[in-house]
Amino acid sequence: MPVGLRVNIRGERMKAAAEAFSSAVQALASQVFPWASKMTVRHEWSYAWYDHQPEAIKLPATDKNTPK
């Protein structure tokens, strides 16, 4: 973004890209999922710029999570 620009130009471009993606999925949905009668679209803005790999953490053994 140029210094001093007070308008978020990226927001509109990302919104347009999300709409285009949604339209593409809608166009294919009846072929891929012929049993479906509707689809639900959710738009979400995420600030997760850094997404690390999942980490498995071992929990303490209990009588409910340990085979006998």
**For each of the chain's 68 residues, which pLDDT tens digit applies?**
566 767 666 777 878 888 999 899 998 888 888 888 888 888 777 666 666 788 888 878 888 888 77
CB-based contact 68:58 (threshold 8 Å)? no
Residue closest to 24 by CA, chosen among 39, 46, 12: 39
Tokens of 30: 């009846």
The span from the CA of 14 to the CA of 8, in Å, is: 11
Q: Is the pTM of this model over 0.85?
A: no
Please, what sign has the CA dihedral across residues 44, 26, 51, 13?
negative
